Structure 1
Amino acid sequence: MTKELIVRTGPQEYECREGVLSTLPKRLEERFVKNLLIVHGTVSWGKARPYLEDLYQAGFSITEVAFSGECSYEEVDRIVSLAAQHKSDAIIGVGGGKIMDAVKYAAAKADCILNVMVPTLASNCAPWTPLSVMYTEDGVFIRYDFLQQQASLLLLEPKLIIDSPKDFFVAGLADTLAKWYESDEILSLPENAQQPMLMMARQAAYICRQSILDHAELAIASLEAGEVTEAFVKLTEVITSISGMVGGLGDAFARTTIAHEIHDAITNFPESHHFLHGHKVAYGIMVQLAYEKKWAEIDNLIPFYEHLDIPKSLHDLHLDRLDAEGIMEIARLSTKPEAPAHGLPYEVSAELMAEAIQALEDYMANLPEL
């Protein structure tokens, strides 16, 4: 494994509180911004637009554009072209993680102009991290691209997030839970355990796991009731920011291993496309634990998964049609030579991965009825 450790911190400025979006005009004026390009989702835009009324009354030249739906190279180039056409000083992303990733990439590619993150979901750490997860226009994972600038501003409005669909929040919890399981085998190695940046990365990963297991039930109840509570705000910040700090501080020592590699592999199967990123990563956690033969920890997580209706098997992902060759295809895709999973302190191979996937499937199929 490489010994190189490059720390990529989070946004230049971050704030999470009710009413924070009313400060956006002043913050942009302080940065000498005049022309804005807003890239937004569809349903989320209708909910977010009222929170930006102060921005629209402040005299900026504003151009709006709807996001295509995928963070693809084609979409990034389209946003770059629009920013040049309208002489934009800043691009604001309003929506979910793929919008955040596309806007970050486009702003960097457009001569590193400012980029502003206004999430409408707490579903992943995309608003925080200076990297973009790239897909084909059909939704198949390609690779992660690191960027040479971080977000200029990240503003989290809890009242906007509380109005988001429950599935996205649950997916965010699942994606964030993976931070601990994917990184701890590496971060706990004696040669890493005393390195300051890696110590902080491991602590951030621990906060991710423990906060979710301790507070998820209360936070979800808050979401369902539409009430902003301390538990809800805490997990919104954990999903969006603390999870981003794990990889930001730990770099290749703490980014993604088996859980995310499994996610990336199963994006090649169209049946999985309607499942959210975090749901597929959650299944990947189970595969990683099966690979490591940590069946007791799987048992600990099963009630949590079932309570939140998170996929824990190929059957749950509607991929139970896969035969041995289909499982081997997932195994091959998740263990390619360049896969970060090879940074784990044990052998990672397609054969062993296929065995773990099948063992997990057998284990889940034989669970006693509750």
Structure 2
Amino acid sequence: MSLIVRTGPQEYECQIGVLSTLNERLISHGYKKVLLIHGEASWRVAQPYLSNFLENGTPSSTLSLFNGECTYAEVDRIALLAQEIGADVIMGVGGGKLCDTVKYAAVKVTGIQSVLIPTLASNCAPWTPLSVMYNEEGVCLGFDIHNEQVSILLINPELIMGSPVKYFTAGIADTLAKWYESDMILSQPEHQANAFLLMARAAALNCRDSIVQSGVQAVSDLRSQLLTPAFIQIVETIIAISGLVGGLGDQFARTTIGHAVHDKITIFPESHDYLHGEKVAYGVMVQLAFEGKWSEIDQLMMFYDELVLPKSLVDLKLGHLTEQQVADFANEIVHDNALVSSGYVVTQEGLCQAMNTLETYIKVKSAV
């Protein structure tokens, strides 16, 4: 069995006020020139927390606006800019796609590291040494794994508290998927003797238990702007613990049907109105339908309804798809590279039937 463990950032801290230590941390690592990549809306929220860094001038910094999509062209642009200004570190301040782009740009240039300051808890992108790639139209092309990990990852829960609820609930859905996607593989007898796969499964179970026990409360706390232990726990679960699942389990704990559905559903322009985690949420429903776990679907439906997560193609504005389009969509999912490498066995016929049955099931249940 080939298993490569990539645990996470070299240095990580989640703490109120942690960004006040940014200058000292950069200097202690020997970083002298920073290329700072930032979003637009997220930058307005983040700036007050970075005033000490921006006003200090040591290390010196150059700012550049992210183009909004994690494309190979944007990765190359940032890598080239870093070389032109002589940067030794690229810092990303923003959401998941920005973090993925910054990580990739940093590993493309020898001697450049990455520092990430997420403004959202919408997925595990700040933690993982891989980047999910898209084209300029927002269609997912798959993911690339990197041979270097993030140098420093700093999370200020107060900064995350300024993010939209929609992104947080998407992060909860993406994190919950870690258990449903990985357990079918990790529970197989041949994987029970591998210490790291056992740890990956424990991390996935922790994701599920934390989300089920505290997810709704954390969302309520965000809506009320209450910085509680439950909120901070879910933030770290979304970004760090869920990142550990794939980091410890590699291809055996990274992608099955849930994320494969996300990757392939992006071919439909209507899906671009929905976040990564929202599309994964639907993917989990498809996976459970494929596995015939309807009682589990019943339980998740109530949870999804509380968080306004999509359960069906209709919920994703894709209820108009023809039978042939659904069949073609199922075929694309079955041939997803990451799904194939995971060892999860799925057929087009079985997946197509699961998707169609799920639509009817959700429609009937919603009408009751």
Return the TM-score normalized by structure 2: 0.98
Alignment of 1:250-269 (within 5 A): 250-269=249-268
Equivalent residue, structure 2, for 1:17 = 15
User: Which secondary structure does the structure 2 equivalent of 1:57 belong to?
Assistant: helix
Equivalent residue, structure 1, for 2:53 = 55
Equivalent residue, structure 2, for 1:151 = 150
1:181 partner letter = Y
* Contact kept? 1:178, 1:259, Cα under 8 Å: yes
Describe the shift of the 1:175–1:227 C-alpha distance in structure 2 as closer, same or farther (beyond 3 A).
Answer: same
Deviates further, 205-214 or 360-369: 360-369
Is residue 357 from structure 1 mapped to residue 355 from structure 2 by the alignment?
A: yes
Give the deviation of 1:193 after TM superposition. Answer: 1.8
Counterpart CA distance in 2 for 1:156 and 1:82 is 26
Is residue 348 from structure 1 mapped to residue 346 from structure 2 by the alignment?
A: yes
Counterpart CA distance in 2 for 1:275 and 1:329 is 21
Counterpart CA distance in 1 for 2:111 and 2:186 is 33
Give the deviation of 1:339 after TM superposition. Answer: 4.1
* Contact kept? 1:261, 1:341, Cα under 8 Å: no
Counterpart CA distance in 2 for 1:112 and 1:131 is 18
* Contact kept? 2:260, 2:336, Cα under 8 Å: no
Deviates further, 198-207 or 54-63: 54-63
Alignment of 1:197-236 (within 5 A): 197-236=196-235
1:32 partner letter = G
User: Which secondary structure does the structure 2 equivalent of 1:64 belong to?
Assistant: strand
1:316 partner letter = D
Q: Which has the higher helix share?
A: 2
Alignment of 1:264-303 (within 5 A): 264-303=263-302
1:26 partner letter = E
Alignment of 1:62-141 (within 5 A): 62-141=61-140
User: Which secondary structure does the structure 2 equivalent of 1:44 belong to?
Assistant: helix
Is residue 312 from structure 1 mapped to residue 306 from structure 2 by the alignment?
A: no
Give the deviation of 1:16 after TM superposition. Answer: 0.3
How many residue pairs are counted as aligned between the two chains? 367
2:222 partner letter = L
Deviations 1:19-74 (A, max 9, x none): 00011100100111111111000111011011111112332221111100100000
* Contact kept? 1:112, 1:149, Cα under 8 Å: no
User: Which secondary structure does the structure 2 equivalent of 1:367 belong to?
Assistant: helix
Deviations 1:222-270 (A, max 9, x none): 1011111000000000000000000000001101110000111110000
* Contact kept? 1:272, 1:317, Cα under 8 Å: yes
5+ residue gaps, structure 2, are: none
Equivalent residue, structure 2, for 1:366 = 364
Which of 23, 30, 33 is the equivalent residue of 1:32? 30
Give the deviation of 1:332 after TM superposition. Answer: 1.1
Give the deviation of 1:216 after TM superposition. Answer: 1.1
* Contact kept? 1:290, 1:357, Cα under 8 Å: yes
The CA RMSD measured in Å over matched residues stands at: 1.1
User: Which secondary structure does the structure 1 equivalent of 2:218 belong to?
Assistant: helix
User: Which secondary structure does the structure 1 equivalent of 2:337 belong to?
Assistant: coil
1:159 partner letter = E
Give the deviation of 1:77 after TM superposition. Answer: 0.3
Deviations 1:119-162 (A, max 9, x none): 00000000000000011011101111011110000000000001
Equivalent residue, structure 2, for 1:45 = 43
User: Which secondary structure does the structure 2 equivalent of 1:155 belong to?
Assistant: strand
Counterpart CA distance in 2 for 1:84 and 1:222 is 43
User: Which secondary structure does the structure 2 equivalent of 1:117 belong to?
Assistant: strand
2:14 partner letter = C
Equivalent residue, structure 2, for 1:7 = 5
User: Which secondary structure does the structure 1 equivalent of 2:13 belong to?
Assistant: strand
User: Which secondary structure does the structure 1 equivalent of 2:315 belong to?
Assistant: coil
* Contact kept? 2:182, 2:252, Cα under 8 Å: yes
